[in-house]
Amino acid sequence: MGCSPSKKVVRAKNATKRLRAVVRIQTWYRRYRANLEARRRCTWSIFQSLEYAGEQDQLKLHNFFNNMLDSLVSDGNSPAPLIRAFNVNKRASIYDTQSMRDSGGEMLQNLLEGMEVEPSYKGPHLTFPLTMNQLHKIVQSFRRKLTLHAKYTIQLLLEVRRILKTQGNIRYASTSLSKQVTVCGDIHGKLSDLYTIFHKNGLPSVNNPYIFNGDFVDRGQFSTEVVIVLFSCFVMNPNEVYLNRGNHEDHVMNLRYGFVKELQMKYKQHSRKVIHMFKDVFSWLPLATVVDDQIIVCHGGISDTTNLKTLAKIDRHRYMSTLQPPGECEDISTMDTQDLIEWKQVLDLLWSDPKPIDGCQPNTFRGGGSYFGPDITTSFLQQNKFKLLIRSHECKPEGFEYTHNGQVLTVFSASNYYEMGSNLGAFVRIQGAELECRVVQYMSTHSPTHRKVSFTQRINTVEKSAIQDLKEKILASKHKLLSEFKKCDLDNSGSISSSDWCCALETVLEIELPWRTLKSKIAKCDNNGDVQYETTFDELEVRHRYSGNGPSITETLYRHRENLETIFRLIDTDHSGFISMQEFEDALMLLIKQVDIRINERDIRDIAYSLDINKDGSIDFNEFLEAFRIVDNFGKDHTKRVSRDHSIDSAHVPSIASELDEKE
């Protein structure tokens, strides 16, 4: 029997209600996901803008060092040690150039002098040539958080240097035997990511070659371990492991971004020799790798003047730091034209970034290299008969990104780069006769519960971290911002319009962000929608436990602490972590001269005396730099202590160890 008309009407109404409910749920869910995506993009924009602001500081540092050299050389009153300290490419080493021509004999004996292996040493004992079993022991010792002894580290670096000297500036890889090659991007001292790559893709071998595309060190806690594992793989498989130089295989960058400090902590009294050896070995790393004459792999990118024939002839060892002219050049204005051309070629390869618009412009954010457009890429690839440019140098949310109509592939292998959950890492397998690129993504974990965290919870965590970073950046310019805010507050009401608030932040911080979107997370508004600008600082302030010179001076030093750290580490030529009071004062005076900040000499002297706790005339500058704190009115410490490498993912190590055992 058929349904009555009334029942049909009821069913139709119910179906309509269900349909409307489904539409509402879908609409709500889409809005919810769109809101999450907007928050993710905003958070990513904060992290990237802050990183690029740091790269802008690197541009200033680039000019800072070169101006410093000019001023020191021209100033007859400047002490000679300062001139030598700031000229990284020319600075006298613990061994002269002639002695470095031989990797053995007397030089080896001098380098290893005083490096006896103590009976208490629990790490691996190395002999050369290295074996798979020894690599296994290195991996296991790093799992137990042991440091490879300085003697074995020096021996490994000498062996790496010996091999690198036989290789050209541009290496050529072939897949005729292996039928594939794996390209890895920035690792930045994240040992867990390196283990993840080997766990997923296998160890380097004749049938499994690798190209590691620079930026092995800095930022992460385990840069030493990462580079030792990579160098061990390299000396065992010199024809299957390709090591390209990145912009962080650079002594000035290592002074600023943590690798030198890490070596000082891990090698103590032997750190000077180890640091100098790393500085020298990094300068011998090749600049690019070409796969089957069809794909070029380099760290940064290219420019409209990139010429592979010119690059092939450059003496790359002249560039201990690519941020300064080559060794014998002290004044850029008097540099030989050929030297300038060669220097730019190296800078472009290590520092450049692709942009969506045609043309080639100076890379204003990075401090070196160029922005190159699709037309530059097409021209370069056609000229050299390549079909693809693979580069790294930029963190990507998915770990990789195709640009320039698929002609440029960016691969970034450090997952969780900004914060846990902020981005995936990736590596690329080039395989088959057509050299097809297969991207493998991953996220290295450090907690058994991390995988259970929802996407929303991950966004909340990453967003909170980004806002905290941004607040620290804002707090470092508190007095400048207050001055700018008050210019707009003509009636001294304590409130200004949202437009004025956004404009002031962008002007002072020189960072373009969606400030209107971020307003509610940074400051409070009154009933009229105007911003109560003093709440921007949320009753926080920067303090330094050894300085009683007032908030403005402390804030100024905090704002320029990275530049100060770089200067201190350059002056600290024996890498002891201590400098004299006079050197401390000289460093501050140099910073004031170059960065145009206002601190009088008396205040500088007072700061120096307050830091000389033992009154022995020397200052522990590490303690000075780490003494900055962000506190609230109740004295509670809000200083963010987040490492970019959280811990070693030991869950993957047994799998690596098993493979090592099988190969052995």
Return the ∠ at Cα 564 (arms to 559 and 568), rounded to 5°.
Answer: 165
pLDDT tens per residue across span 549-594:
555 666 667 776 777 777 777 777 666 777 777 777 777 776 666 6
Amino acid at 321: S
Q: pLDDT band at 661, cuts 50/70/90? A: low
Closest CA to 556 of 607, 510, 513: 607
Phi, psi of 245 (to 5 degrees): -80, 140
Pairwise CA distance, residues 422 & 398, whole Å: 10
User: According to the model, what pLDDT value does residue 419 have?
Assistant: 86
Run of H or E including 171:
strand 170-173
Closest CA to 444 of 262, 148, 189: 189
User: According to the model, what pLDDT value does residue 102 have?
Assistant: 46
User: According to the model, what pLDDT value does residue 255 have?
Assistant: 85
Query: Contacts from 74-79 at CB under 8 Å and sequence distance 24+?
Result: 79/586
Pairwise CA distance, residues 441 & 372, whole Å: 26
Q: pLDDT band at 105, cuts 50/70/90? A: low
Pairwise CA distance, residues 664 & 660, whole Å: 6
What region does 356 belong to: left with phi over 0, alpha with psi -120 to 50, or beta? alpha
Active site residue 62: no
Report the predicted TM-score, pTM, of the whole model to 2 decimal places: 0.84
Q: Which of these ranges, 12-21, 491-500, 628-637, has the smallest mean pLDDT?
A: 628-637
User: Does residue 210 have a pLDDT over 70?
Assistant: yes
User: According to the model, what pLDDT value does residue 487 have?
Assistant: 92
User: According to the model, what pLDDT value does residue 74 have?
Assistant: 54
Q: What is the mean pLDDT of residues 462-491?
A: 88
Q: What is the mean pLDDT of residues 65-81?
A: 53
Pairwise CA distance, residues 440 & 400, whole Å: 9
User: Does residue 374 have a pLDDT over 50?
Assistant: yes
User: According to the model, what pLDDT value does residue 437 have?
Assistant: 96
User: According to the model, what pLDDT value does residue 644 have?
Assistant: 45
Cα distances (Å, whole numbers) of residue 369 to 348, 354, 601: 4, 11, 37
Q: Which of these ranges, 99-113, 411-425, 471-485, 600-614, has the smallest mean pLDDT?
A: 99-113
Residue entry with tokens 């690596």: 656
Exposed / middle / buried, residue 283 (Cβ in 10 Å: 0-12, 13-18, 19+): buried
Joined tokens for residue 661: 């055992």
Pairwise CA distance, residues 661 & 195, whole Å: 16
Q: In the chain, what percentage of residues exceed pLDDT 70? A: 74
Exposed / middle / buried, residue 92 (Cβ in 10 Å: 0-12, 13-18, 19+): exposed
Residue count of the chain, please give it.
664
Q: pLDDT band at 35, cuts 50/70/90? A: confident
Q: What is the mean pLDDT of residues 380-385?
A: 97
The residue among 621 and 249 whose pLDDT is bigger is 249
pLDDT tens per residue across span 288-320:
999 999 999 999 999 999 999 999 999 999 988
User: Does residue 91 have a pLDDT over 70?
Assistant: no
DSSP string, 180-248: EEEEE-B-TT-HHHHHHHHHHH---BTTB-EEE-S--SSSSTTHHHHHHHHHHHHHH-TTTEEE---TT
User: Does residue 100 have a pLDDT over 50?
Assistant: no
Instruction: Spell out a b/e string for 546-569, using b for 16 or more CB atoms within 10 Å of the CB, else e.
Output: bbebeeebbbbbbbbbebbbbbbb
Q: pLDDT band at 510, cuts 50/70/90? A: confident
User: Does residue 179 have a pLDDT over 80?
Assistant: yes
Whether 518 contacts 604, CB under 8 Å: no
Q: pLDDT band at 42, cuts 50/70/90? A: confident
Pairwise CA distance, residues 395 & 415, whole Å: 9
Run of H or E including 561:
helix 561-571
Average pLDDT, the chain: 82
Q: What is the mean pLDDT of residues 420-429?
A: 93
Q: What is the mean pLDDT of residues 437-462?
A: 77
Q: Which of 136, 188, 199, 248 is catalytic?
A: 248
User: Does residue 1 have a pLDDT over 60?
Assistant: no
Run of H or E including 46:
helix 5-74
Q: Name every residue whose Cβ is closer than 8 Å to that of residue 631 and which is 6 or more positions away in sequence.
A: 540, 541, 543, 637, 638, 639
Query: Contacts from 303-307 at CB under 8 Å and sequence distance 24+?
Result: 303/344, 303/348, 303/352, 303/360, 303/369, 303/370, 303/372, 303/376, 304/360, 304/370, 304/372, 304/376, 304/379, 305/341, 305/344, 305/345, 305/348, 306/345, 306/348, 306/349, 306/380, 307/345
Pairwise CA distance, residues 290 & 312, whole Å: 12
* Crossing angle for the helix pair 5-74 and 455-475, to the nearest 10 degrees: 30
Averaging pLDDT over each range in 10-24, 33-47, 446-460, 516-530, which range is the top one? 516-530
Averaging pLDDT over each range in 57-61, 99-103, 207-211, which range is the top one? 207-211
pLDDT tens per residue across span 217-275:
999 999 999 999 999 999 999 999 999 999 999 988 898 888 999 999 999 889 989 99
Closest CA to 366 of 23, 48, 57, 44: 57
Q: Where are the alpha helices (DSSP H) in 385-477?
A: 455-475
Q: pLDDT band at 447, cuts 50/70/90? A: very low
Return the ∠ at Cα 101 (arms to 97 and 106), rounded to 5°.
Answer: 95
Closest CA to 501 of 473, 482, 479: 482
User: According to the model, what pLDDT value does residue 201 have?
Assistant: 96
User: Does residue 166 have a pLDDT over 90?
Assistant: yes
Query: Virtual CA dihedral for 49, 54, 60, 63, nearest 10 degrees?
Result: -120
Compute and round to an integer the Cα radius of gyration of the chain: 27
What region does 347 belong to: left with phi over 0, alpha with psi -120 to 50, or beta? alpha
Q: What is the mean pLDDT of residues 51-69?
A: 62
DSSP string, 502-534: HHHHHHHH-----HHHHHHHH-EE-TTS-EEGG
pLDDT tens per residue across span 393-424:
999 999 999 999 999 999 999 999 998 888 99
Whether 531 contacts 496, CB under 8 Å: yes
User: According to the model, what pLDDT value does residue 103 have?
Assistant: 47
SS3 of residue 109 by DSSP: helix
Whether 465 contacts 50, CB under 8 Å: no
